[in-house]
Amino acid sequence: MHAISNRYRKEGRKIAFVPTMGYLHDGHLSLVRKAGQMAEIVIVSIFVNPTQFGPNEDFERYPRDEVRDLDLLKDYKVDVVFSPTREEMYPEDHVTRIHVDKITKVLCAVSRPGHFEGVATVVMKLMQIVQPDFMMLGQKDYQQAMVIQQMIRDLNSPVEIIICPTVRESDGLAMSSRNTYLNDKERKAALLVSKSLDEAVSMAEEGETSAEKICERIRELYDENGLISVEYVEAVHPRTLEPVRKLEEITLIAVAVTIGKTRLIDNVLIESGSKS
């Protein structure tokens, strides 16, 4: 992979990179499409990264289907699919970890200790291997994108991050490889996650400025449904991820819930009363 990238770079061709864990859906594919608009060369990686899963998480059962993924990618302009093995990425004597401080102490990090260290480490490794000019990330995993952006700034990496909007099912549910875990009842309950964010936006549009009241309303909606167990509902500053009490110029409302055995996250940016 490194040699191929070196060749592209010598030829003066720009590289756009889309890191994924596979089991691709339209969310991933929107990143691939954007990559094609950003650069002449598009590289997609597929690697279910073991270091970002906790010991009791779903690494083993995470959905995998590389044949299907490659088939889906055929419809797009993709130059290389990089799909390393676990042993190639983490040989036995691999001991280095990247730790991004501060923004990895809140939101998802509370219930997933070590998760962002695993993410930062694998993304830095992939960046070293692929040497992209641009890297496409999804707003769906907002905190992840902020952690990567922070790492890139702090370590003076020349990669430009492009954050792409969350792609949703027609009923609003944010697309996720983990949605395949949901049974019919759980799938219905999961709809409340995006609905609650719509409600947050409506409240802001109608003049509500208290972030606390908005979060309270979201929790209420979840509590009314017996299947949803809330992990967090928070209003935070979009870059520092520090909690805010009043809506600011831009506020991130981020939620994480568990439905059955499936953990789902979603978020919305409220921009002085309008959503993006």
Compute the chain's Rg from CA coordinates. 19
Nearer to ligand AMP among residue 7 and residue 153 (C-beta): 153
- For the sheet with 80-82, list strands across it: 80-82, 41-46, 15-20, 134-138, 160-164
Query: Does the annotation count 28 as an active-site position?
Result: yes
* Cα–Cα distance for residue pair 52/175, rounded to 1 Å: 20
Nearer to ligand AMP among residue 137 and residue 203 (C-beta): 137
Q: Which amino acid is at 9?
A: R
Q: Which 18-77 positions form the footprint of ligand AMP (CB under 6 A)? A: 20-21, 27-28, 30-31
* Cα–Cα distance for residue pair 12/39, rounded to 1 Å: 11
Among 107, 130, 137, 264, binds ligand AMP (CB under 6 A): 137
Q: Which of 164, 139, 226, 127 is nearest to 34 (CA)?
A: 164
Among 118, 132, 138, 238, binds ligand AMP (CB under 6 A): 138
Q: Residue 175 corresponds to which tokens in the numbers above?
A: 């697309």
Contact (CB, 8 A) for 114 and 54: yes
Q: Dihedrals φ, ψ of 105, to 5°?
A: -110, -5
Q: Which of 25, 28, 99, 115 is catalytic?
A: 28
Nearer to ligand AMP among residue 174 and residue 211 (C-beta): 174
If one asks whether residue 112 binds ligand AMP (CB under 6 A), the answer comes out as no
Stretch that binds ligand AMP, among 33-41, 164-172, 213-221, 229-237 (CB under 6 A): 164-172
**Which residues form the catalytic set?**
28
Binding site for ligand AMP (CB under 6 A): 20-21, 27-28, 30-31, 137-138, 140-141, 164, 166-167, 174-177
